Amino acid sequence: MSVVEIKMIPNGPLEMKGDFKIIRPDGKEEEKSGTIHLCRCGHSNKKPYCDGSHVKAGFKD
């Protein structure tokens, strides 16, 4: 069984470690392995991934 580790970065993204399949709203699938950061602030221009925009946006969780 593979384990996925999810860490909430304070005032930032979700850090995920493991093997993933990202399924976009249009149905396109993307296989990922390793560490990824998913945006939780809504300001990223590279959604679903964090691009650091949360800092400029002053995102607080």
Burial class (CB in 10 A: 0-12, 13-18, 19+), 2: exposed
User: Closest separation between CB of residue 40 and ligand FES, Å?
Assistant: 5
Residues 37, 9 contacting (CB under 8 angstroms): yes
Q: Does 51 bind ligand FES (CB under 6 A)?
A: yes
Q: Does 53 bind ligand FES (CB under 6 A)?
A: yes
Pick the binder of ligand FES from 4, 6, 10, 13 (CB under 6 A).
13
Interior CA angle at 42 toward 21 and 8, to 5°? 65
Q: Does 48 bind ligand FES (CB under 6 A)?
A: no
Number of residues that bind ligand FES (CB under 6 A): 12
